[in-house]
Chain A
């Protein structure tokens, strides 16, 4: 078994699988990070991802362009994010309930629309997958080159976006304002910021990212839509945000670990690993748990997370 693990095909395959599994989680998690840093907890992103997958697929299917597909997925996600914003800012909803409600609603909506539009079919309509782009030179590097440098453009874009997020929170007023609003909305308000508006923007952006993450599933991984395309990726994204201490690179790390644990799990099973399969399936969750216990202690997150802001609380 050990030789198997250290073989080149194993490693490249393992890495490629890790990247595949982590990318949609990472996209959604980066969006959720922004949302949460503004003080809104959006538990509905699993649902938004499902809608993103559906609208993304549908957009691409009818237009013939994957990019229009992504656009549709992102737009639908943003719209749902905005809805979550209306609930939590305008109506001061309890965000946990609102998020759960959104999740249920989106599941229903996606599956409803899916049946309305495509009917009960023998064979799912499909679109061509987003092609991989090999980066000349780098992709020829031995062992890792092929995995790391022949991915589709969304993978590259996501990874390139990470330093942008870092930059945004460190060097721009957007990031500063978002942090202030999530940490101390009273202080932000007193400093003249429009707490509600910033939260709308953040949660809408988070929705957009979740929608893109969902579209990625449909357009870059499977080329089709089913109601069960995302089985818990949105929830993992939420866990990864906490796990990643609300910081971009840590979130990449969290998504990577989860992706890797998953990739490993499939491979162990195929190697006849002497455990009932239910236990190998547990590996990603157990690993996440152990790592949080070991390294993720004392993470509190934005102080005002999930708390509706009310001026009269002065």
Chain B
């Protein structure tokens, strides 16, 4: 079992409906998680780890294990290792280890695999696809409404489909409420580099940005501290990042991984698991984080607008397109 140092926070949106009674007091269900980064990176990997913790908390008679900081080159070995040890449910939390996921799942048809942010499914391989662009669109509405300079910043980590999607949704939101606003874009080429995030955000502040969307991961710590220091409004990502800079973080685009992972596992226990795409959408845990202490910085009509659009998206009357890459 993993080191119990964590106090995992679990977004309470997904309902742990299924019970483990079926498995009774018999063999515990063994769940493993393989991560490409450290579990305390305050972003992507920590979210994945929280998913594992959510499983442990919400379901009885499960046994969990994880491998962190597994290099791409070692991904397949790590998966096979768990598979050969008889783990029942193996989660791969790394978007680019495609062949590792497919090869292992193919060789172990009796084991269920979950690949977060992947692009291919098999009978025993499901994929969680974060629909972060929807929440990002809502964040864009806020940013577009609040900017006075009409310059908004976006500091991204690496330009991959899920972050790009998020950026595109954000830009759409901005454009909708404020066609005059311009979005400055910095990709810093890393999901970890705190100082790069910090410097990029500062350069945007100097260029006039008065709201900055930190569209990333560990490096968002750098982005948000830069915003706190320059007293620039900020929006976090992946998890609720309010606490990083309480003075300026309006909200965060939560990707909903932990809820998503727990939900898929619930399906698995209930026997509903199929190799399908799980889209974690607004209704299912990917959402804007609460405004916390900064609600008063967002005018009521903006809050109302956000609520209205959220409902439209959930109802399906409003569809935010998925833009994986801008021009192709």
Contact = CB atoms under 8 A, between A and B. Distances in A.
Direct A–B touching in the complex (beta carbon < 8 Å)? yes
Interface of A: 4, 9-10, 12-14, 17, 20-21, 111, 114-115, 119-124, 129, 217, 221-224, 226-231, 233, 262-263, 266-267, 269-272, 277-278, 281
B189 A266 contact: no
A23 to B, nearest CB: 12
A226 B218 contact: yes
Interface of B: 3, 5-7, 9, 38-42, 46, 49, 153, 159, 184-190, 192-196, 198-200, 202-208, 218-219, 221-222, 225, 229, 239, 243-244
A224 B243 CA distance: 13
Nearest to B239: A122
Given A13-B206, A17-B202, A229-B195, A124 B244 contact: yes
A277 B42 contact: no
B159 A119 contact: no
A222 B222 contact: yes
A226 B185 contact: no
18 contacts: A13-B203, A17-B203, A115-B5, A120-B5, A120-B7, A129-B229, A222-B194, A222-B195, A223-B225, A226-B41, A227-B40, A228-B218, A231-B192, A266-B203, A267-B207, A269-B185, A271-B184, A277-B187
Contact of A120 (B40, B188, B221): B40
Contacts of B204: 270
A221 B198 contact: yes
Nearest to A269: B186
A10 B203 CA distance: 9
B194 A229 contact: yes
Contacts of A221: 195, 198
A119 B5 contact: yes
Given A9-B208, A17-B203, A124-B42, 6 more contacts: A120-B49, A226-B194, A266-B199, A267-B206, A270-B184, A270-B203
Contacts of A271: 184, 207
A269 B186 CA distance: 6
B194 A263 contact: no
B197 to A, nearest CB: 10
A9 B229 CA distance: 17
A115 B206 CA distance: 35
A231 B195 contact: yes
Given A9-B206, A228-B192, A266 B40 contact: no
Contact of A281 (B46, B189, B208): B189
B153 A270 contact: yes
Contacts of B219: 228
A210 B188 CA distance: 25
A121 B5 CA distance: 8
A231 B193 contact: yes
A134 to B, nearest CB: 16
A189 B287 CA distance: 70
Contacts of B196: 231, 266
Given A224-B225, A228-B192, A281-B188, A115 B203 contact: no
Interface centre among A9, A14, A114, A266 (most CB of B within 10 A): A266
Nearest to A229: B194
Contacts of A262: 199
Contact of B207 (A263, A270, A281): A270
Contacts of B49: 120
A278 B189 contact: yes
A269 B159 CA distance: 13
A124 B9 contact: no
Contacts of A272: 184-185
B70 to A, nearest CB: 15
* Most A C-beta atoms less than 10 A away, residue of B199, B204, B218, B239: B199
A276 B188 CA distance: 11
Contacts of B153: 270
A183 B193 CA distance: 38
Contacts of A119: 5-6
A233 B196 CA distance: 11
Contacts of B42: 124, 226
Contacts of A278: 189
Contact of A269 (B187, B205, B239): B187
Contact of A123 (B39, B206, B243): B243
A263 B200 CA distance: 8
B195 A123 contact: no
Of A13, A223, A263, A267, chain B has the most CB atoms within 10 Å of the CB of A267
Contacts of A224: 221, 225
Contacts of B225: 222-224
Contacts of B187: 269, 277
